[in-house]
A and B are shown apart, each in its own frame.
Chain A
Amino acid sequence: MTRPLLEIRHLVTQLRHEGKGWLPVVDDVSLRIDPGEVVGLVGESGCGKSMTAFSIMRLFPTPAARVASGQVLLKGRDLLALSADEMRQVRGAEVGMIFQDPSTFLDPLHTLGDQIAEPLRAHNIPGDPRARALELIDLMGLPDPPALARRYPHQVSGGQKQRALIATAMACSPSLLIADEPTTALDVTVQAQILDLMRDLRAKTGAAMLLITHDLGVVAEMCDRVYVMYAGKIVERNSTAQLFKSPRHPYTQGLLGSTLSLETSGRKLFAIPGSIPSATQMPAGCRFAPRCPIAADACRVATPELLPLDGGEAACHRLDQTAGDVWARTGEEARP
């Protein structure tokens, strides 16, 4: 077995809720990424997928968040135990991160060239930062690197901004790139270009990627393995091929069945009833039980553990049952 590049062990991240104290948004999450691997972390809003990424970087968008317990091992070194200075050496150099909205993370007052060169300077990477920035711009498939390096973020399109942001993240040749919904804000044709770029980068640099997304189409296209997250917990993980071929957790099945693709025509569309629970009203037992078509009494009492299955893992008390047929019945109303 290869040594994992990143290994998250039993991570618990909490958010402070007024009057209710600290409540977990990431609850006992374990995840591993091997060198060069593209791993998907998929789930709906509020499931904790982005907070997992912020926990790895130890950067939270709000002071009301903290890692309560667990380990984040990068090449065996626990990032959670590092000092603030040591952590700064990791961010950008060993782990790069890109986000959904590049405008928020690019400084409007600096040229793209300066911003791409900035991490090279900050981490004292040998060589001429300007020359390397031009190389990076070229690597991102952007036309006319010298001209683009002189531009400010507002002078380029959304797709070009996202490419520039990827360039800053890849500047120091990190071994891991965390991409949080990198294409969600982009138009379909531009999204396809960015996905192609990320695939090229992986082939050229060998960097591993953690791709955080709600889009199962993007997962199918990009990832080697997938973790499915629901209400703060991993409910299923497997290779992408196996997970899409035979999803085992009722939530994964429901999610796949409620995804519309170009081939959905005539197929039944599942609808998962109810909505995602909030951290302040987390159901007891299995958190999916209130929405699950095959939930039994046991599901509302005991939290299911992840159990080995089909080469992956799933956390469900009812793995002997299949929710597929039940979901299919919910999809029976006729299509227009």
Chain B
Amino acid sequence: MTVMSPVTKYVGKDLTRLEDRRLITGHGTFIGDIRLAGLADICFVRSVWPHARIRGLDTQQARCAPGVIGVLTGADLADVTLPFTRQFYSAIDPVLVSEYGLTIRPYRAPVLADDRVLRVGEPMAMVVAADRYLAEDAAELVDIDAEPLPALTDPFEAMQPGAETLHAEVPGNVHAEFTVEVGDPDEAMTRADRRLRRRFRIRRSIGSPIETRGVIAHFEAPTEQLTVWSNTQTPHVLRSYLSEMLQLREDAIRVIKPDMGGSFGGGIYPEEVAVAAAAVLLRRPVRWLEDRQEDLVNARHSRDQWYDVQVGYLLDGTLTALDADIVADSGAYNPFNVTLTFNAASHLRNQFDIENLRVHARHVLTNKQPLTPVRGAGRTEATFVMDRLIDMIAADVGLDPAEIRQRNLIPAAAMPKDMGMYYRNGKLLVYDSGDYPAQLQAALDAIGYADFREEQAQARRAGRLLGIGISSHVEGSGYGPHEGAAVRIDGSGNVTVLCGSSPQGQGHETVLAQVCADVLDVPPEQILVRTGDTALLPYGGGTFGSRSAVTAGNAVHLAAARLRDRIIEIAGEVLDSDPAQLVLQDGRVVDAAQPGKSLTFAQLSEAAAPASGLTALPGLEATAYFVPPTVTFASGTHIAVVEVDPDLASVTVLRYVVVDECGTVLNPMIVEGQQHGGVAHGIGNALLEEACYDESGQFTTATFLDYLLPGAAEVPDIQVLHQSFPSPLNPLGVKGTGEGGATSSPAAVVNAVADAVRPLRPELTELPLSPVRLFTALREARGAETARGPTRPDKEP
């Protein structure tokens, strides 16, 4: 395996992004910008019932409305597509079944609902019309005969005996379940000096990129070629779904991902299959551009878990045992099965040396939108739980949280640390590299933790409540199974990189060019990187779960290295040079022993053409697939300083420090940008974002004035420091960094709030910490304090 040279020319530099030019001039091509002759617009007719039996759909009036080309129902689609029942990344490693009793039950999921609907927003029919305005007009004319049924909106009620069963195959509504056990948690809990029990509630949130979803499909009947454009994170996976469901040969399908306005989770959607099916049925290009109201209801949601946790510890704050029961309100379908909760179980112990763990998790079906892993993906939830517990333990034993953390962090000498369980991929969970105590210290130094207490005291005297909060996390990144890349030199002597990744703003056109540039010694500006198109490579993984720096980066590195070998082989023949003497230098191949002898890439390309008399194989292209041995563990420590106004119950985040450890840093500017964006997302989760259903199952936050994303005034400046422990698990030594920002931020912010309002100890166990929740928690804490009797002379909040 080729190892990165420690001295790199392009990797590690802040290269300005190559994709910027078209984006800053408004010439990006997003899904809504693609023009095709004869393109018709689709509007989905969606359920207004959380749960109902559908007796009939009358599309007659809609079909006669102005500009309508057709109205398709589930019955129409059944002619061309199978149901939508396949599970994502459904390969379940048998070790999870044998070790943890992992159970996943099947269910039937339609593309368009037919005889019943299981959630508000479930798509039932498609109006295809000349434009979206007319399609929406006609959609209102579809008449649905529905018999509303009681809706399950509470997962605990859904698990009760006698509760309605949503899917016949899942009696009791527990779709997926496992129990992880490490060590002997019961024994360790009994041995602990003290135990703390809490329930944590992380409410439902939405990935909500600024661009909504969109799909264009064009089926050319004469050649039976289907082209689908979709702002998907996984084009190859989408192609494989379409092939299976539409029963078309895989090679007859091309999935193209255009420029993409962000994406933070999602998966493959029934709408994508429906639009493709409509193209096949109608034999004309069709387009669905989702609007924001649709997206808030129908893009998959996330988080929405309860954690009933008990933690055992000694009087000096040493953690001994952790026992958690997780319930995930998983909505009407659960295509991601246990990804969220297994991530939570895998990351719950955080950076701490806890040898005894039990996590029991259940995904419960209800009449809501299903869940997907969204930025942070179970780790955010687990980190919130663990780090709030640390804070509570600190208060209980009378020590500073920083001290509790230092006491429990896995020391550098103990790395790599086998955590005694299997990861979701069936491999042993091992924290492969890092120095967590040094990371914490770096964060404490950067925020000025020691001086803060004096600042805090002064502020109190002036009537201001400031607080400081710490959170750390680990992140298993670079998930497999693989990623692919091809690197080629074309007839003009230019380098092109083809990659199976599917970036949504992470700068792959730049970063992957930097990786390739280091191997071939060509300036990155001259390297064209193409991604997100199934025509580029036969296999591709996509971009999600902080995987692309690891998988795409290394695939490009390996492919470029193979190409370099080919270049040297061919150049050696052409120049009649000893291959061992050939080096790549500024876009040329040079004979180090005879500097007069060299070839430009253009000359090489000519020489490498077939029929040019080479004994070596023709062509200047190499392909490589990187198969990560397992995930590699990145980590981070965050510290937030907040101000609380106890009367308004407002929280302002004033200062923020991130120490991020992601191994080799490919482009520092891009890594920091990912941290900034992740922290902003986490601040949103901490204080603002909440996707709500009422008791009857109606969705109540379907506008951007109800579902609140943080704006520029809600996010402070974020100082990012790098720590670097190159991963031993890949040639570049990289680890993922896309989600760390969103993983520790809710915990850091809420811990800071808890610190600001001491000596009051409000129960801050819920996200988001809205003003009403904070207000109520403070009032209850004051009540509890009064009951205990005031003892402190300090000014009380």
Are these two chains actual partners, yes or no?
Answer: no
Binding site for A on B (CB under 8 A): none
